[in-house]
């Protein structure tokens, strides 16, 4: 009897999620999508300005026992730092970077990218497989997985 009750409770919990999701869709809101930041990403959009003029990439490594690290190329220099995710909340940093000089366009991309990245507090997984990292002030980064191969 307890097993039947448990199955019913689990089914109802699943239905509740479906009802909540249907309400979101009826309001025109995007579906809730989950995923993982682990692995390699490319910057597809820098704060609504489109893809940057120089390649920017990130790799999120889950590490062991709380040693999660993010590292990548910020357009000119390499960067690294800690990251921690709790649901859709994301904490990055402190970040460290090499300090090479590059042509001004690459330096500008790097300045903007690192400024937004350090301010990020939220992650949103999109239905198309991209990820949106958002800062509290509205700035954001759109990441996509690199092409296979």
Whether 102 is in a domain gets the answer: yes
53 and 94 housed in the same domain: yes
Per the structure, the complete domain to which residue 4 belongs is given by: 1-32
User: Does 149 fall in a domain?
Assistant: no
List the beta strands (DSSP E) in the chain.
Answer: 39-46, 57-61, 69-73, 78-86, 89-97, 120-125, 131-135, 140-144
Q: Domain check: are 27 and 46 in the same one?
A: no
Q: Are residues 49 and 24 in the same domain?
A: no
pLDDT digits (tens, 9 = 90+) for 110-146: 999 999 999 999 999 999 999 999 999 999 999 999 9
Assess whether 43 and 111 both reside in one domain: yes
Structural domains counted in the chain: 2
| Cα 107 from chain centroid (whole Å) | 23
pTM: 0.77
Query: 62-110: per-residue pLDDT in tens?
Result: 988 778 999 999 999 999 999 999 999 999 999 999 999 999 999 999 9
Contacts of residue 108, Cβ cutoff 8 Å, sequence gap at least 6: none
- Same structural domain for residues 49 and 26? no
């Amino acid at each position: 009897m307890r097993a039947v009750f448990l199955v019913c409770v689990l089914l109802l919990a699943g239905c509740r999620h479906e009802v909540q999701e249907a309400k979101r869709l009826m309001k025109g809101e995007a579906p809730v999508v989950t995923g993982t930041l682990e692995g390699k990403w490319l910057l597809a959009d820098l704060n609504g300005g489109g893809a940057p003029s120089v390649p920017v990439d990130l790799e999120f490594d889950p590490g062991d026992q709380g040693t999660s690290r993010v590292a990548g190329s910020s357009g000119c220099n390499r960067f690294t730092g800690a990251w921690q995710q709790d649901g859709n909340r994301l904490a990055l940093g402190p970040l460290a970077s090499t300090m090479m000089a590059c042509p001004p366009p690459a330096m500008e991309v790097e300045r903007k990218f690192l400024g937004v990245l350090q301010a990020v507090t939220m992650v949103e997984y999109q239905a198309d497989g991209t990820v949106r990292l958002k800062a509290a002030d509205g700035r954001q980064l759109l990441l996509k997985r690199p092409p296979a191969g």
